[in-house]
Amino acid sequence: MRRVRIALLGCGTVGGGFVRLLSRERDRLRERYGVDAEISQILVRNLSKERPGVPRELLTDSPLKALDGDCDVVVEVIGGTHSAGAYIRRALLSGRDVVTANKAHLAERGRELFDAAAERGLFIGFEASVCGAVPIIRMLQHALAGDSVESLIGIVNGTCNFILTRMEEGMEFDQALRSAQQCGLAEADPTLDIDGIDAEQKLRILAELAFAAPVRRVTTRGIRHVVLKRGSVLRLVAEAYRVPGGVELRVEPRELPPDHPLAAVRDEENAVIIRGRAMGEVMIRGKGAGSLPTASAVLSDVVEIARLRPPLGHAKAAADAAALLK
Ligand SMILES: NC(=O)c1ccc[n+]([C@@H]2O[C@H](COP(=O)([O-])OP(=O)(O)OC[C@H]3O[C@@H](n4cnc5c(N)ncnc54)[C@H](OP(=O)(O)O)[C@@H]3O)[C@@H](O)[C@H]2O)c1
% pLDDT > 70, the chain: 95
Tens digit of pLDDT for each residue in 6-18? 999 999 999 999 9
Q: Is the CB of 197 under 6 A from ligand 1?
A: no
Q: Is the CB of 49 under 6 A from ligand 1?
A: yes
Tens digit of pLDDT for each residue in 115-140? 999 999 999 999 999 999 999 999 99
Q: Is the CB of 240 under 6 A from ligand 1?
A: no
pTM confidence score? 0.92
Give the confidence band of 186 by pLDDT, cuts at 50, 70, 90.
confident
User: How far apart are the CA of 99 and the centre of ligand 1, in A?
Assistant: 14
**pLDDT at position 188:** 83
Q: Is the CB of 79 under 6 A from ligand 1?
A: yes
* DSSP string over 93-147: HTT-EEEE--HHHHHHHHHHHHHHHHHTT--EE-GGGTTTTS-HHHIIIIITTTS
**pLDDT at position 113:** 94
**pLDDT at position 93:** 95
Does pLDDT of 320 surpass 90? no
Given the residues 49, 65, 202, 326, select the one marked as catalytic: 202
- Find the mean pLDDT for residues 284-302: 95
User: How far apart are the CA of 3 and the centre of ligand 1, in A?
Assistant: 26
Tens digit of pLDDT for each residue in 37-64? 999 999 999 999 999 999 999 999 999 9
**pLDDT at position 309:** 82
Q: Is the CB of 133 under 6 A from ligand 1?
A: no
- SS3 readout for 11-48: CCHHHHHHHHHHHHHHHHHHHHHCEEEEEEEEECCCCC
Q: How far apart are CA 14 and CA 100, in angstroms?
A: 11
Does pLDDT of 314 surpass 80? no
Q: Where are the beta strands (DSSP E) in the chain?
A: 2-9, 35-43, 59-60, 73-76, 97-100, 124-125, 149-155, 215-220, 233-243, 246-256, 269-276, 280-287
Give the confidence band of 84 by pLDDT, cuts at 50, 70, 90.
very high
Largest pairwise CA distance in the chain = 66
Mean pLDDT of all residues belonging to the chain: 93
Tell me whether residue 202 is one of the annotated catalytic residues. Answer: yes
Does pLDDT of 318 surpass 70? no
**pLDDT at position 92:** 97
Q: Which of 19, 20, 44 to mutate to test the pocket of ligand 1 (most atoms within 8 A of CB)?
A: 44
**pLDDT at position 108:** 87
